Amino acid sequence: MLKMKKLKNSLSKYIPFFHAGLKSTLAYKSQIYGWMIIGVIEILFIFFLYQAIYRNAPEGMNSVINGLTFYEMILYGATSFIFGNAISSETGWNIYVEVRDGTVVNTLTKPVSYRIRHLFTCFGQAFFQVFFIALPLLVILYGIFIGCGFVQFEPLQFILNIVFFLIFLLLAILINDSIGYLIGMLTFYTQHMFGLNMFISSIKTFLSGTMVPLSYMGVFGVIFSYLPFAFLASTPILILMGKMELLMIFIYLTIAIGYLILLEFINHLLFKHCIKKIVVQGG
């Protein structure tokens, strides 16, 4: 009991960082409209491209390609776009800006954990992205697809899918933030973010199954599904769509937690090395 109280007290000092993350996301509301227009363009593009693919498949629009019907493929693409935004984290950029401007020393001298501080800022950002954008959009999307009979789910199974999906959503936010933090740490050495960020973004997009489901990649797709990036799109989306067996869900859950612990451990070691290396111009 005493320990819990102590933990609560020590975490309460990070609440302002949660608010900062939330407010910084709210401050750029206009960007959300831009993101939505881009989303419509991207989803329409996915629709036209896969429509042409299925139209040209041997069994036409009724074909099942790599385990997905045409409507399931569109649902996968749209969910993947919404999911990608829900878990996006600014941690890497925030660390880079602090390293570039030298303001990183201000936070290092304060009695707060550098990692937990950034994690709470990420939670603030994710809170808005998940509860005010992603979940309402997913409810509308699945409502339309189920309502129109494009996809079918058994009610109880679907509720279970949603529960597991939400657990994997939380894990995806944490893993993505850990990767962002790792990239941020690397800017202590490179002093440059643009190229690094682009590099990791394309790795994530490709290996997570954001652009194309991993089942399209044959044996490589199976290998990629065990990498940490798969938890940033493919695994949670397939769980929501009811495309994964319970046993596999538990196996992936264990792997995801393992990756999270490993990433945080690497981040911890890297941070210890970085603070010894830091040089702030002008002091």
Q: Which residues bind other proteins (CB under 8 A)?
A: 30-31, 34, 37-38, 41-42, 45, 48-49, 51-53, 55-57, 65-66, 190-192, 194-196, 198-199, 201-203, 205-206, 211-212, 216-217
How long, in residues, is the chain?
Answer: 283
Q: For the CB of residue 167, give the shortest distance to other proteins in the complex, in Å.
A: 28
Spatial neighbors of 269 by CB under 8 A, at least 6 apart, are none
- Tokens for 113, please give them: 């954990």
Q: For the CB of residue 217, give the shortest distance to other proteins in the complex, in Å.
A: 6
Give the span between the Cα atoms of 182 and 263, in whole angstroms: 8
Closer CB to other proteins, residue 171 or residue 207?
207
Closer CB to other proteins, residue 113 or residue 205?
205
For residue 275, give the amino acid letter: I
The three-state secondary structure class of 68 is strand
Q: For the CB of residue 233, give the shortest distance to other proteins in the complex, in Å.
A: 13
Residue 148: CB atoms within 10 A of its CB come to 9
Closer CB to other proteins, residue 111 or residue 194?
194
- Tokens for 216, please give them: 């399209």
Q: For the CB of residue 135, give the shortest distance to other proteins in the complex, in Å.
A: 24
Closer CB to other proteins, residue 28 or residue 250?
28
Closer CB to other proteins, residue 124 or residue 209?
209
Closer CB to other proteins, residue 23 or residue 55?
55
Q: For the CB of residue 270, give the shortest distance to other proteins in the complex, in Å.
A: 18
The three-state secondary structure class of 101 is helix
Cβ(112)–Cβ(264) below 8 Å: no
Spatial neighbors of 277 by CB under 8 A, at least 6 apart, are 188, 189
Q: For the CB of residue 79, give the shortest distance to other proteins in the complex, in Å.
A: 17
Sign of the alpha-carbon dihedral angle for 266, 100, 116, 82: negative
